Structure 1
Amino acid sequence: MIKYITTLLTVMLLMAILLTAFTAGDKKPFLKTGTWRAVLQRPDGQQIVFNFTTAVEKNKQLLYVINGSERLLVDSVNREGDSIWIVMPFFAARFAARVLPDGNLEGVYTKSYGDKKQEIPFFAVYGNSERYTAPAKPAYNIAGNWEAVFGKGRRTENVIGVFEQTGTGKVTGTFRTPTGDYRYLEGIIGGDSLQLSGFDGGHAILFTAKLDNDSTITRADYYSGLAGHETWTARRNARVQLPDGYEQTKLKPGENRLSFRFLSTNGDTVSIQDALYKNKVVVVQILGSWCPNCMDETVFLSAYYKQHRKDGLEIIGLAYERTTDFTESKKALEPFQKRFGVQYPFLVTGVAVNDSLRTQKTLPQLETIKAFPTTIFIDKKGNVRKIHTGLDGPATGKYYEAFKQEFEETITALLKEG
């Protein structure tokens, strides 16, 4: 009997060792560690380029998407057989790839828009940190502010390009709009040619241009996703400004309070009239998980809330997703909450972002919801004091700092009121 037990224990120990070995083998890195150059290949021949680095931390394969100064962590990188699955943390985007004999990657990038999907072929080359190669030394320096117009005819959008440029021609920056910014763009100017691109899962964009001189651009194109395309023009203008973000979204005449009640992602019913919000300064964040600028605002608001909740500040997120289904909406929003440690509630409005009646169905006290994000400031008496439309995010540099300063001043003043 003792011999039998000893044999059984020996077998069990061997099985445990083998299981540990197999498990450890599964956790070994399966992508070369270092920098990659990735290309989304559009059918029209245009290439949306971005860089990423791969790393192994705590025996886990990770990836960081590089756009200018941003390093966006992608922590869902898995291997199934000969396939590599890279799932972006937000925006319902992922890559399916295979490792080629030379160690490079080839596959498909898929972006979901509700029940629709967009697929773009992609490949990634290991050991290449160049986004674009300059054909010549830069003929111009585009650093500064540019007054730009996207589109032609009746379908135009006035935006502001804000750029920085190094002596070698590397360009970083973004385009600011009345409803947000295009986040981090990076590229190069060689001769009179400009190439700028950005990728975060939500945005997959490329800007190209031929400069007429150091202050004028009349031959330029903007490519987005699989087939999006517009032309654009720009002229240097250091004084150009956007419309005041605090003057774009208004309450209806006679209204001064909000009234809403929705389910949170935790399944709780939350109302602005709840006791928790009485005699508190409340910020209502209008957002969507599909919105890159909302991601940037969530990063800021989450950190700010943790610091100032003790002072009498509350924040409520109102989410408008691409679906009306609660479960699907919750699934889309939870990565935001987890990644940024959001401690304030996200409420699912159950109204799709593309619903033309979204304002009437959810916040009928407003004239209209113009942009995502929109930020509503409510005083201790429950009155709406300010509404800010859009966001100058971290890619805008000094404009982001100005936004944060004004936000801080507004909250501080409201908290001091009786």
Structure 2
Amino acid sequence: MPVAFSLRKAIAGVTLALAATACQSDSKTAETTAAGAATSPLTAGIWRGVLSAQGQEIPFLFDVATAGGQPTVTLRNGEERLKLDEITTAGDSTTIRLGVFDAALVVRAAGEGKLTGAWVKYDANKPYRVPFTAELGAQPLFPVMADQKVTSFDGTWKVSFKDDTGKTYPAVGVFTQTPAGVTGTFLTSTGDYRYLSGQADGNTLMLSTFDGSHGFLFTGKQPGSTTPDNATRIEGDFYSGLTGHETWTAVKDPDAKLPDANALTGMKPGQKKLEFKFPNILAGGSISPSDPKYRGKVLVVQLLGSWCPNCMDETNFLAPWYEKNMERGVEIIGLGYERTPDQEVAARKLLKMKERMNVGYDLAVAGVADKDMASKSLPQIQKVLAFPTTIFIDKKGEVRKIHTGFSGPGTGKYYEQQNAEFNKTIDQLLAE
């Protein structure tokens, strides 16, 4: 889910009681659980969860497994599996922390094999709670009509999204359709909407995802008519939580592509070097590209946020890549832009990400999660358009390329092409 959309929209809703439960101390929760006074309502098996918003259901599947009495939850989005192992129970409520994100599912039993509760995001500027229910038992992600002729949505599509103000932006839709369902994603200039999965029902397409930071629902229909050049088209809606809504249209086009991600922004006229000095997330000290550690080396600067799934996709690529390649004379600096002005809180969020994702390169607190503020913090750059943004610096300390956005593994061949380009750029700069 591209940051351009996620930063514009906020989500809110469910009970204050659940939020209070979610904020109980870990030590108190651990004591309650250890005393045997609390029992988790999470039963082993496949569950279908539903986020309720805008009169819509945003469904997702998750697995529950138990080992030694301690449950683990695994979110399922297409081929992706996100394991959640920070789970605590206090009283009748269970809190499932959502990976690196400062968010949780706070749930309680609502009858045998049923849960009720909320998706709570603690890092939002205002209360961010979305009603949540779940039911145990293998079932389709979306209910479909039996014995109904199914329209094909398979292939590559040229897409245009329009928000409620009338502003539009281009995208590319890539879908794979089998008798088991539909998987795919949308690519945009600021990132992709990650792993989507769902079903086609008659001439209707239904796709959703929930990764802990975003809950998305895409619906679309092929109206039966075509464009003037007889191309098949789709008309649809995109829902995000309680308030986010856009419409989208698509035309089937195997050659659909986005603007060049390396040409969307650059350095200001007369500027060649990136200059900054930001606090290291580790105790004391600062990080600057002019530090002795980075001199004479190829340097990659990653603009990211621990709240950003596209950033996590890039970090999942960069962290192991760095471990394999740092001895070649290349370094990476991650500049964190967090949803808090408190540097200590921001540093803790980034440190949690660093530890959970085994990030070996340096991370600094650079500012708040706002593209305009990020642009001001790096005044040599024309404009920061997205999180993540990746900046390539040569051995002389000069910026050679700025790549906007990141196409994650849910985009398939686009992900592979992007990573091949990344390696090619590094090889060229190291060879100079």
User: TM-score scaled by structure 2?
Assistant: 0.86
Deviation at 1:104, TM superposition (A): 1.4
Matching residue of 2:243: 227
Matching residue of 2:193: 182
Give the conservation status (yes or no) of the 8 Å contact 1:89–1:335: no
Unpaired segments ≥5 residues, structure 2: 1-32
Matched, 1:238 2:249: no
Matched, 1:212 2:229: no
Measure the CA separation in 2 of the matches of 1:50 and 1:26. 30
Change (3 A) 1:386 1:355: closer
Matching residue of 2:93: 83
Deviation at 1:86, TM superposition (A): 1.1
Give per-residue Cα distances to partners, 1:134-185, cap 9 Å, x unaligned: 21445222111111111167411111111101034x0001000001000110
Deviation at 1:343, TM superposition (A): 0.7
Measure the CA separation in 2 of the matches of 1:28 and 1:279. 57
Give the conservation status (yes or no) of the 8 Å contact 2:301–2:332: yes
SS of residue paired to 2:420 = helix
Deviation at 1:254, TM superposition (A): 1.0
SS of residue paired to 1:277 = coil
Matching residue of 2:29: none
Q: Match for 2:118 among 108, 122, 126? A: 108
Deviation at 1:334, TM superposition (A): 2.2
Matching residue of 2:177: 165
Deviation at 1:251, TM superposition (A): 0.3
Measure the CA separation in 1 of the matches of 2:234 and 2:322. 45
Matched, 1:251 2:267: yes
Change (3 A) 1:67 1:355: closer
- Which AA in structure 1 matches 2:249? T
Correspondence 1:340-351 to 2 at 5 A = 340-349=357-366, 351=367
- Which AA in structure 2 matches 1:203? H
Matching residue of 2:58: 48
Measure the CA separation in 2 of the matches of 1:105 and 1:273. 53
Give the conservation status (yes or no) of the 8 Å contact 2:38–2:90: no
Give per-residue Cα distances to partners, 1:206-228, cap 9 Å, x unaligned: 01112124953453111101121
Deviation at 1:383, TM superposition (A): 1.2
SS of residue paired to 1:402 = helix
Q: Match for 2:80 among 53, 70, 82? A: 70
Give per-residue Cα distances to partners, 1:307-333, cap 9 Å, x unaligned: 001111100001111122111111222
Q: Name the count of aligned residue pairs.
A: 393
Give the conservation status (yes or no) of the 8 Å contact 2:100–2:356: no
Matched, 1:358 2:374: yes
Give per-residue Cα distances to partners, 1:204-258, cap 9 Å, x unaligned: 1101112124953453111101121122111101111100011011001111111
Give per-residue Cα distances to partners, 1:60-84, cap 9 Å, x unaligned: 3211000000001111111111111
Give the conservation status (yes or no) of the 8 Å contact 1:280–1:314: yes
Give the conservation status (yes or no) of the 8 Å contact 2:265–2:404: yes
Measure the CA separation in 2 of the matches of 1:346 and 1:58. 36
Give the conservation status (yes or no) of the 8 Å contact 1:77–1:87: yes
Question: Which has the bigger relative contact order, CA under 8 A and spacing at least 6?
Answer: 2
Matching residue of 1:379: 394
SS of residue paired to 1:276 = coil
Matched, 1:260 2:271: no
Measure the CA separation in 2 of the matches of 1:218 and 1:68. 22
Measure the CA separation in 2 of the matches of 1:342 and 1:229. 35
Matched, 1:284 2:301: yes
Q: Percent same amino acid at aligned positions?
A: 44
Matching residue of 2:8: none
Deviation at 1:203, TM superposition (A): 1.4
Measure the CA separation in 2 of the matches of 1:298 and 1:377. 15
Measure the CA separation in 1 of the matches of 2:392 and 2:128. 37
Give the conservation status (yes or no) of the 8 Å contact 1:35–1:54: yes
Deviating more after overlay: 99-108 vs 207-216: 207-216
Measure the CA separation in 1 of the matches of 2:372 and 2:236. 32
Give the conservation status (yes or no) of the 8 Å contact 2:38–2:89: no
Measure the CA separation in 2 of the matches of 1:99 and 1:190. 32
Measure the CA separation in 1 of the matches of 2:159 and 2:414. 17
Measure the CA separation in 2 of the matches of 1:82 and 1:357. 42
Unpaired segments ≥5 residues, structure 1: 1-21
- Which AA in structure 2 matches 1:354? D
Matching residue of 1:198: 209
User: TM-score scaled by structure 1?
Assistant: 0.89
SS of residue paired to 1:212 = coil
SS of residue paired to 1:320 = strand
Aligned-residue CA RMSD in angstroms?
Answer: 2.1
Change (3 A) 1:273 1:54: same
Deviation at 1:23, TM superposition (A): 4.4
- Which AA in structure 1 matches 2:259? P
- Which AA in structure 2 matches 1:172? T
Measure the CA separation in 2 of the matches of 1:49 and 1:392. 24
